[in-house]
Chains A and B, each alone.
Chain A
């Protein structure tokens, strides 16, 4: 054991701190310092920190549980009262007359989502392919920030833009008031572009370069490489991206409420006003009471479950994709 201790820190001075010259002149027995065991203080500090971080990570789990608990407690009675089947399968939503059927709303939400996907999906995937395969670095420097900024624009601004600019144009070209599915599709299509484009680009980028080169080396054109090699290789990632885009479209509220026109029927045309799962909450919440209010929380439960199903679908598909490859 070395007896020499640093006067300031109180730590043992390792042997080679000693003056090398004196060591050379008079070889001393070298240090035989014992290995320090983990001090209780250090052990508890590190363990405490780790547990603190774990608790923080579990806040996410707690969040999901709390949402289920609070929204569920508020909304559950409506399922009990009118029955799950009548609630989900009923066509009539006339809360003041005790009709609490949300099938119309579910169908409308789906219609809005599918149309948005039909327009926004190709737009987003095309943009992603552009960014990852076609664009020069300079073009990329323009397009990528544009995609990021689209993601940053608040949904209320999208709605406002749809209301004051897009709606009059739609009304002018197609007649009517301009409220309705068509306008909603256009707005939602732009809103889901960043979600889908960013993730699709990631998926394309993670395809190894060797695969591209192999395809080009076989005389394939750029498009053949993209269509026959890259898109199939990035398939799982693109499907994930599209599902996330679907989630975004179905959960979108403020942009939709401002251009949907909000009539309580299944629309008989794409230029007719309609009401969705999300917009009904915004419109009815200010005056809803009693069962009506409970029913709105019931709608929120349905929305929450739909969004969780999308997340679960992504997980299953990703796992499936991993097993495939």
Chain B
């Protein structure tokens, strides 16, 4: 009797662990399938002329350079706007804030902002920046709308990075007669910098792949934006329009691969920085 129970127990354990293994394998397989599929179908497209020339004709043959330019532009601009605000906001939350009504309101707002569907953020950008403030469809309007999406992400990673700096190190600085700001700016932020950078890079990757926000704030016009008030079409928007209309599928595959490569590159860079830092401090 007892031995049967024990056998049951073992069998259940084995089955359950197999199921858990399968879940993990399925997750990895999903990623693998997507990457391999996009890679196999897109790699033939990636040529210098695809990357560096303009599309032409009704079917958008040729290259995708202006969409790359627009993507990099809007991502860079939104990071420039968001990063300082987000980092300082995180400094406030991690170093200065005292638990209370104000802080819990700020946190609730940040959480809400983080969970706003990007399509809502797109319509908000349209109503607020494109029309409300008269920026028209432009890189600037898109960058501002994206900023609200990225802000909570960078605030959270930065706050975690700051909190991970041991309090002993802060005491060392205060004990030498450093003011709060001196301690924060010369000790805490530099110590947290690798992790902050990781978070910022990951956020940039997120901004690059964003579609719903930019489509309503910088439009779909193929245009290499120069001024922040120029409109443009980013790579994700380009991919979506080509795929939906079923035109130039090779171009769509190429764009998808390039987009995935960019995002992968950002992710791997971020991981590398995080890892190198861990090794240096450990």
Residues of A within 8 A of B (CB): 42, 45-46, 49-50, 52-54, 56-61, 63-64, 66-67, 70-71, 73-74, 122-127, 129-131, 134-135, 139, 142-143, 145-150, 152-161, 163-165, 190, 193, 197, 221-224, 226-227, 244, 247-248, 250-254, 257-258, 278, 281-282, 285, 296-297, 300, 303-304, 307-308, 310-312, 314-315
Contacts and interface: CB of A to CB of B under 8 A. Distances in A.
Which 3 residue pairs spanning A and B have beta carbons closest together?
A154-B209, A126-B23, A251-B117
Contact of B151 (A60, A125, A147): A60
Contacts of A42: 179
Nearest to A135: B24
Contact of A143 (B13, B24, B180, B271): B24
B259 interface: yes
B37 interface: yes
B27 interface: yes
Given A149-B264, A197-B27, A244 B113 contact: no
B277 interface: no
B226 interface: no
Interface of B: 9-10, 12-13, 16-17, 19-24, 26-28, 30-34, 37-38, 41, 84-86, 88-89, 91-93, 96-97, 105-106, 108-113, 115-121, 123-124, 127-128, 132, 148, 151-152, 155, 179-181, 202, 205-206, 208-212, 215-216, 236-237, 239-240, 243-244, 249, 252-253, 256, 259-260, 263-264, 266-267, 271
A60 B155 contact: yes
Given A155-B209, A221-B9, A304-B120, A130 B89 contact: no
Query: Which of A59, A124, A134, A165: most chain B Cβ within 10 A?
Result: A59
A63 B109 contact: yes
A224 B259 contact: no
A222 B252 CA distance: 47
Contacts of A227: 16
Contacts of A64: 109, 112-113
Secondary structure of the B contact surface, majority rule: helix
Contact of A258 (B21, B23, B180, B244): B244
Nearest to B253: A164
Contact of B266 (A125, A152, A247): A152
Secondary structure of the A contact surface, majority rule: helix
Contacts of B236: 154, 156-157, 254
Contact of B89 (A56, A221, A282, A303): A56
Contact of B31 (A63, A146, A221, A257): A146
B127 A149 contact: no
Contacts, number: 257
Query: Which of B86, B179, B205, B244: most chain A Cβ within 10 A?
Result: B244
Nearest to B246: A163
B117 A307 contact: yes
Contacts of A163: 243
Contacts of A54: 92, 96
A159 B119 contact: no
B245 to A, nearest CB: 11
B1 to A, nearest CB: 16
Contacts of A130: 20-21, 23-24
A251 B113 contact: no
A158 B22 CA distance: 22
A126 B24 contact: yes
B21 to A, nearest CB: 7
Given A160-B243, A254-B236, 10 more contacts: A45-B181, A46-B181, A67-B120, A126-B22, A146-B27, A154-B208, A158-B34, A159-B240, A221-B9, A297-B127
Contacts of B23: 122-127, 129-130
B9 A165 contact: no
Contacts of A139: 24
30 contacts: A52-B88, A54-B92, A59-B151, A60-B89, A61-B109, A67-B121, A74-B123, A126-B22, A127-B24, A129-B23, A130-B23, A146-B27, A146-B31, A152-B202, A152-B209, A152-B266, A154-B210, A154-B263, A155-B209, A157-B34, A157-B260, A160-B239, A161-B256, A221-B13, A223-B17, A253-B211, A254-B211, A258-B240, A300-B123, A311-B112
